[in-house]
Amino acid sequence: MTIASAPAAAAAAADASVRWHPGGPFNLLQSLGILMRGNGDPSFANRPDGLWIAFTTPDGPATLRLTAASGPDCHVDAQAWGPGAGSAISGVPRLLGGDDDWSGFDEPAFHAGLPRLVIEARRRNPGLRLPATGRVVDSLVPTILEQKVTTIEARRGYRYLMYRYGSPAPDAGRRAPSGLLLAPTAAQWLGIPSWEWHKAGVGPQRSATVMRALRSASALERLALLDSVEAGAKLQTIPGIGIWTAAEVLQRTHGCPDSIAVGDYHLASYVGYALTGKKTDDAGMLALMEPWRGHRQRVVRLLGLSGFRKPAFGPRMTIQDHRGH
């Protein structure tokens, strides 16, 4: 992995810029797709001229554009605008998975013990990296909204609150997509009245968990400086945040290669069918995944890219998702 100065034209067009070389294959959308809360996430825009992301850094808001080039000179050009442009650019390598080390996973002895489905998915998707945003609040709030409800319901509520309380992304001239939004800051989330949570379809238990967590927002953001084990343990000391929520956050903030979402309504069943042809529960999933401890999130991501779909039995369920915290 190397970092180089961006081309002069790109640098001149932005407040800050950089060219990042991953040192091997890299797939931008596969790697960063986990960060998007559905195709309608207002803080992302995937366009022919690049992947645009809006977020708030410690130095202020930023609009970031990422454009990837494949081939022998595989690289990503990053341009940023706004008060937080410099901070956003300094975080690009980690955001793109620059700290994500697959060498242990690809080591021949370990690799040989993987399921055939995973081996084939890895062969076909060598450009997958696990991103690390370092932005705990931005990952935690939408994850809390996904507790105990379906993903569709949670993302609908998140979009509603984003459109009501998000802020316009920093101006990038005529280049930036219209409607790109920054997620609310911790202070803005805390200022949302109870009736707006209700309009968003967010029940009092989840909104109370958001409020409780964000009263210590500065301490939350410092968790990004800890290793994933310690950060996950500290997250779970907050009432309403358990193993599922912590794992979902760490996958995004730390690029944790082992965080697995125990308590997810669908995951255990999916893993069971993919690996054994039979449905299983959380305990069964953990037993199946134990040989790959340290890389279990990599296995889950590759299963998702394998094209495998678990059998469908009868009509789609309409009841709520009962995943744990």
User: What pLDDT shows up at residue 319?
Assistant: 38
| pLDDT in single tens digits along all 325 residues of the chain | 666 665 655 556 899 999 999 999 999 999 999 999 998 999 999 999 999 999 999 999 999 999 999 888 899 999 999 999 999 999 999 999 999 999 999 999 999 999 999 999 999 999 999 999 999 999 999 999 999 899 999 999 999 999 999 999 999 977 778 899 999 999 999 999 999 999 999 999 999 999 999 999 999 999 999 999 999 999 999 999 999 999 999 999 999 999 999 999 899 999 999 999 999 999 999 999 999 999 999 999 999 999 999 887 644 444 344 344 5
pLDDT, position 322: 37
How does DSSP classify residue 59?
T
pTM of the model: 0.91
pLDDT at 312: 75
Distance CA 81, CA 216 (A): 29
Among candidate residues 142, 240, 238, the one with its CA nearest the CA of residue 183: 142
- Token pair in block for residue 30: 């596969």
Nearest to 259 by CA among 152, 135, 132: 132
Q: Take residue 171 and report the two structure tokens written for it.
A: 């101006």
pLDDT of residue 315: 46
N-to-C CA span, the chain? 37
Give alpha helix (H) positions in the chain: 8-12, 28-32, 85-90, 92-95, 103-106, 108-112, 116-124, 136-145, 151-165, 186-190, 194-199, 204-214, 217-222, 228-235, 243-253, 267-276, 282-289, 296-305
Phi, psi for residue 205 in degrees, rounded to 5: -65, -45
- pLDDT score, position 10: 54
Contact 44, 52 (CB under 8 A): yes
Residues 80 and 62: beta-carbon distance below 8 Å? yes
pLDDT of residue 252: 97
- Cβ 101 vs Cβ 72: under 8 Å: no
Is-contact 22 149, C-beta < 8 A?
Answer: no
> What are the extents of the domains in the chain?
2-101
Angstrom distance (rounded) from CA 270 to CA 315: 17
- Alpha-carbon distance of 322 to 210, in angstroms, equals 19
Tokens of 15: 């407040």
